[in-house]
Amino acid sequence: MNTVLVTIISFALIGSIAGVILFLIAKRFRVVEDPRIDAVQEVLPGANCGGCGYPGCRGFAESCVKADSLSDLFCPVGGNSVMEQVAKILGKEVVQKEPQIAVVRCSGSPEHRQKTAFYDGAMTCEIASALFAGDTGCPYGCLGLGDCVKACTFDAIHINPETQLPEVIDDKCTACGACVTACPKGIIELRKRNKKDRKIYVSCVNTDKGAVTKRACDVGCIGCKACVKVCAYDAITVENFLAYIDPIKCKLCRKCVEVCPTHSILEINFPPRKTADAAAGKEVSEVTTT
Amino acid sequence: MKTFPKGGVHPPENKISAAVPIEMLPIPETVIIHLSQHLGAPAQPVVEKGEQVKVGQLIAKSAGFVSAPIHSPVSGTIEKIESVPDTSGYKKPAIIIKVEGDEWIDTIDRSPDLIKETILSKEEIIARISEMGIVGLGGATFPSHVKMMIPTGKKAEILIINGVECEPYLTSDHRLMLERSEELLVGISLVMKALGVSRAVIGIERNKPDAIAQLTSLSGQYAGIRVEPLKVKYPQGGEKQLIKAITGREVPSGKLPVDVGAVVHNVGTIVAVYEAVMKNKPLFERVVTVTGKLLERPANYLVRIGTPIEFLVKAAGGMPEDTGKVINGGPMMGKALLSLAVPVSKGTSGIVLLSQSAARRKPVMNCIRCRRCSSVCPMGLEPYLLQALSEQARWDEVEANRVMDCIECGSCSFICPASRPLVDFIRTGKANVNRIIRERSK
C-alpha cells in the first residue's frame, strides 16, 4: 500500500515539475511562424512532387509567403485555380499561366526503328545512356527503360508494351516536369495544354541529316521543311534537320500532319478526319489515338 | 610473393594470344581520328578539309594543360571534319583522312637502332612527351606529361612500371615487354630522369615468366631498375593496388599516387615515350590484342590509330557466327561495342570477342547479403550498399560511403551470386556525386 502511494506521489511530482519546465521552455523558445504558411499549405495539392522547384509543398508555401510577388512562383500541379487561392490568402497579385502537359517526342517503336544491339545491363535509362547511345540506330531516341515512369508521382506515364515507348495519360498529367528531368535523352517536353487535350507536335528529337535519320528510323523527322511551307501561322521552325512546332503560335489546323512524309508529326485527341481528306491523314490518326 | 592485401578476384586468364608475336597490320583506306582520344579537353584541329598530310604530322593541337595533341597516323588527304559515332555510339567530332601511300615526316627516325643516351634535360624530355601526344596507353588515356610534372611541395621517390596486365585475354603489354625490352628499359631511364627519381620497379604478374626472366636479366645494365614478380590477382594493375603491392604504401582516399611518392606508368606508355624522345615519333600507332575463343587467329597487332575495328577483326579471321558481344578493352572493365565501324583510339588495348553464351548476363536476383562483394572489393567498399543507395538516389549517403574511391574494377559484379548490376549503379552514383561536388565548389 505504502509503495503504491509513494509511487503515485513521486510520479505526480516529477510530472508537475517537468510540466512547469516544459511550459517555461515552450514560452522562452517559442518559434514564431507565420500562420499563413499553414493556410497556404492547406490549399496546395500536397503531392510533394517538387515540380515547382521547391522541396515539397511546405517549402513552396514558405516561399510564397516570403516572396514580394507571386510572378516567379507557380504550382504546376494545382494550376491557376490553386494559385488564385494562394494569392487570396496572401493578398497578392496572381499571374495566370497556361496549363501544360507532357509529350513524349519519339515514335520509334520496334516496327519503325530496328534494334541494332541488345542491352542486358541495369534496366534504367540513366545507366544505359551513360554507357552507350542506345540499342537502335538512333542515338537520340527513347531507350524505353522507364526512368520517366519511375519519376512520375501521379502515375500519369506508362510504357506501352507494344510500342515500348512511354505514353502520357492526359487526365493524370499535372505537368510537374519530373519526367522531363528524369529523361536522359531530353525527349519529354512540356507543351501548352489545348482544349480537349488536343496535341500536335513533332514526335522526334533526331538532329542528324535526313538520310541518316531515315536509315535509323522510319518515323523520324528528316528536316524536309514541307511542314514549314504549309504552316499559315509561322509556327514551325527547322533547326539542325529537326522541325519544332511552337505551341503558342500553333492553331491546331493539322495541315502539317498531312504533308509530313515520314509521319513524324502527330495529332492526338482529334476527331477523325472527313473521308475527303487524304488517306495519309487517316493512317496517322489511327497510329496516334491514345 | 607480393600482392595487394585487400580483396581481389581470380577470373579465368584466357591469355590465348600470349605466344603470338606482334604483327604489323596493313593501313586501311580511310581512318577516323576522334578529337577526344584522351582524358581532358578535346584537341583542336589545325588542318582543313582537302589538306594533304603526312604520317606524324600534327593534325590537332592540345587544348589546355590536361589535353594532348593528335598526329596523323597516315599520309593522305583530309576528307572531312565532322561528328561520327565513337565506341559509345554517340557522335563526337573527328577528322577523317583518306589514305594515299605511306609517307612519313622527315623528323621521325625510322631506323631500328637502339639509342641509349640523350643530351635532353628533364624539362626537354617532358616537353617532348607533351608535344608527341603521349597518353596513358593502359586504357585510361591520361595525358602522360601531366603525371611527370610533380606539384611543388611533393616529391616522387619511386617510378612504378605497370606490366601487370591483369585483365583476362589481353596480351599486348606482355608482347611489348618481350619484344621491345631494351626500348622499354631505356624509356624507363628517360622517365626516371624526367621525374628525378633513382628507383624504378617493373611490376609483372607471375603468369608471364618469360617477360620476368628477360627483363630481369636485361635490367642489370640499367641503374636503379628492378623487376618485381607479383602474385596473379585481379585488379593488380589498378594504380593504387600496384603501389600497395610494391611499396606497401596506401594512397589515402582522395589523394594522388604522388602523395605517397609514387608515379605509375604502363609499359606501352613507356615504349611510346622512348619512341617520342629518342626517335621523335609521335603517338600514332599502338599494339592492340584481338582475341576470343571462337576467333580463328587471335593476335597482337601494331595498328595505326583510327583504323576501323572491323579491319582488325577481319585480319584475325573475321567475326565468328556465334559472337554475342565484341568488347572494347578487357572483359572485366571493357565496354561492349555497338558497331565495328568505330576506330581504334589511343586507349584501345584490346578487342575481345565473346560467344553468345559467355556474353549474356545472368538474370538479376535479390541480394541475399552474402557479403562476397565487400570481401572482394580491393578498395574496402560495400558494393551492395552503394548499389542500393544509388538506385534510390540517396546521393549524400552514397558519398558518405566513399563511392569516389571506387575504381570500377568490376570484381563485385563478377563475384555476385545474384548477378546484380553492382558496378553499373555505383558508376551512376559516382557521376552524380561528382556533379554534386562540382556544384558545391562553385
Q: What percent of chain B has pLDDT over 90?
A: 89
| B259 within a domain of the structure (yes/no) | yes
Whole-number Å distance between alpha carbons of B229 and B213:
10
Probe site for chain B from A131, A136, A140, A153 (most B CB atoms < 10 A): A131
Nearest CB neighbour to A130, from listed B339, B361, B431:
B431
CA distances for A288 relative to A269, A270, A284, B186, B208, angstroms: 8, 10, 6, 69, 62
CA distance B361 to chain A (A): 6
Closest by Cα among B306, B320, B401 to B78:
B306
Q: Which three cell numbers stand for residue A79?
A: 494550376
Decide if A156 contacts A174 (C-beta within 8 A).
yes
The ipTM of this complex is: 0.86
Q: By mean pLDDT, which of A28-42, B27-41, B157-171, B236-250 is the weakest?
A: A28-42
pLDDT exceeds 70 at position A277: no
Decide if B325 contacts B336 (C-beta within 8 A).
yes
Tell whether A133 is within 8 A of chain B (Cβ).
yes
Give me the DSSP letters along B269-330.
HHHHHHHHHHH---S-EEEEEEE-SS-SS-EEEEEETT-BHHHHHHHTT---TTEEEEEES-
pLDDT exceeds 60 at position A126: yes
| B32 within a domain of the structure (yes/no) | no
Nearest CB neighbour to B424, from listed A121, A132, A134:
A121
Q: Given B236, B264, B279, which residue is the final one in a domain?
A: B279
Q: Which three cell numbers stand for residue B190?
A: 628517360
> What's residue A75's pLDDT?
87
Helices (H) and strands (E) in chain B, counts: 14, 17
pLDDT exceeds 60 at position A279: no
Whole-number Å distance between alpha carbons of A157 and A261:
28
- pLDDT tens for residues B258-282? 999 999 999 999 999 999 999 999 9
Whole-number Å distance between alpha carbons of B96 and B77:
9
Decide if A168 contacts A103 (C-beta within 8 A).
yes
Q: Which three cell numbers stand for residue B221?
A: 645494365
3-state SS of B250-268 is: CCCCCCCHHHHCEEEEEHH
Give the pLDDT band (50/70/90) at residue A289: very low
Decide if B283 contacts B304 (C-beta within 8 A).
no
CA distance B196 to chain A (A): 40
Contact residues, chain A, for B421 at CB < 8 Å: 121-122, 127
Say whether both B377 and B274 belong to one domain. no
- Residue B152's SS3 state is coil
| B79 within a domain of the structure (yes/no) | no
Q: Which CATH number fits domain A100-268: 3.30.70.20, 3.90.870.10, 3.30.1280.10, 3.40.980.10?
A: 3.30.70.20
pLDDT exceeds 60 at position A109: yes
Residues of chain B contacting A, Cβ within 8 Å:
85, 88-91, 335-336, 338-339, 360-361, 421, 424-425, 427-428, 431
Residue range(s) occupied by CATH 3.30.70.20 in chain A: 100-268
Nearest CB neighbour to A126, from listed B88, B361, B428:
B428
Closest by Cα among B279, B270, B274, B246 to B260:
B246
| B20 within a domain of the structure (yes/no) | no
Total domain count, chain B: 2
Q: Given B248, B279, B310, which residue is the final one in a domain?
A: B279
Please tell me which of A1-5, A174-178, B48-52 the model is most confident about, judged by mean pLDDT.
B48-52
> What's residue A53's pLDDT?
81
Helix H or strand E segment including B59: strand B58-61
Which DSSP category does A136 fall into? B
| B258 within a domain of the structure (yes/no) | yes
Q: Which residues pair with A264 in a beta bridge?
A: none
- Residue A279's SS3 state is helix
Tell whether A184 is within 8 A of chain B (Cβ).
no
> What's residue A72's pLDDT?
80
Decide if B306 contacts B343 (C-beta within 8 A).
yes
- pLDDT tens for residues B201-232? 999 999 999 999 999 999 999 989 999 999 99
Classify residue B23 as left (phi > 0), alpha (psi -120 to 50) or beta: beta
pLDDT exceeds 60 at position B33: yes
| B54 within a domain of the structure (yes/no) | no
Whole-number Å distance between alpha carbons of B302 and B62:
25
Say whether both B256 and B398 belong to one domain. no
Say whether both B259 and B382 belong to one domain. no
Decide if B385 contacts B438 (C-beta within 8 A).
no
Give me the DSSP letters along B176-210.
HHHHSHHHHHHHHHHHHHHHT-SEEEEEEETT-HH
> Domain limits at B203?
122-279
What pTM value is reported for the model? 0.85
Give the pLDDT band (50/70/90) at residue A54: confident
> What's residue A286's pLDDT?
47
Which DSSP category does B2 fall into? B
Q: Exposed, middle or buried: residue B103 (CB in 10 Å: 0-12, 13-18, 19+)?
A: middle
Contact residues, chain B, for A139 at CB < 8 Å: 85, 89-91
CA distances for B320 relative to B290, B313, B326, angstroms: 13, 10, 11
CA distances for B175 relative to A124, B172, B266, B288, angstroms: 40, 5, 13, 10
CATH number assigned to the domain comprising residue B249: 3.40.50.11540
Contact residues, chain B, for A121 at CB < 8 Å: 361, 421, 424
Hunting for cell 618481350 — which residue is that? Answer: B178
* Comparison of pLDDT for B1 and B148, the residue scoring more: B148
Cβ contact (<8 Å) for B427 and A117? no
Mean pLDDT across B363-389:
95
Q: Which three cell numbers stand for residue B62?
A: 592540345
Whole-number Å distance between alpha carbons of A255 and A224:
15
Closest by Cα among B79, B86, B122, B121 to B100:
B79
Give the pLDDT band (50/70/90) at residue A288: very low
Q: Which three cell numbers stand for residue B267?
A: 609499359
- Residue A201's SS3 state is strand
Q: Given B279, B310, B326, which residue is the final one in a domain?
A: B279
Whole-number Å distance between alpha carbons of B373 and B412:
4
Average pLDDT, whole number, for chain B?
Answer: 94
Average pLDDT, whole number, for chain A?
Answer: 88
Say whether both B378 and B251 belong to one domain. no
Q: Which three cell numbers stand for residue B102?
A: 605511306
Question: Parallel, antiparallel, or unpaired: how do β-strands B199-205 and B225-230 relate?
Answer: parallel
Mean pLDDT across A230-245:
93
pLDDT exceeds 70 at position A284: no
- pLDDT tens for residues A242-260? 999 999 899 999 999 999 9
Please report how the helices B181-195 and B209-219 are oriented relative to each other, as an axis angle in degrees rounded to 10.
60
> What's residue A290's pLDDT?
42
Whole-number Å distance between alpha carbons of A19 and A14:
8
CATH number of A36-90: 1.10.15
Residue range(s) occupied by CATH 1.10.15 in chain A: 36-90
pLDDT exceeds 90 at position B374: yes
Tell whether A211 is within 8 A of chain B (Cβ).
no
Size of interface A-B (CB pairs under 8 A): 41
Decide if B400 contacts B257 (C-beta within 8 A).
no
| B180 within a domain of the structure (yes/no) | yes
Probe site for chain B from A118, A124, A127, A135 (most B CB atoms < 10 A): A127
Which DSSP category does B104 fall into? B
| B91 within a domain of the structure (yes/no) | no
CA distance A118 to chain B (A): 9
Give the pLDDT band (50/70/90) at residue A275: low
Q: Which three cell numbers stand for residue A69?
A: 510577388
Whole-number Å distance between alpha carbons of A58 and B252:
42
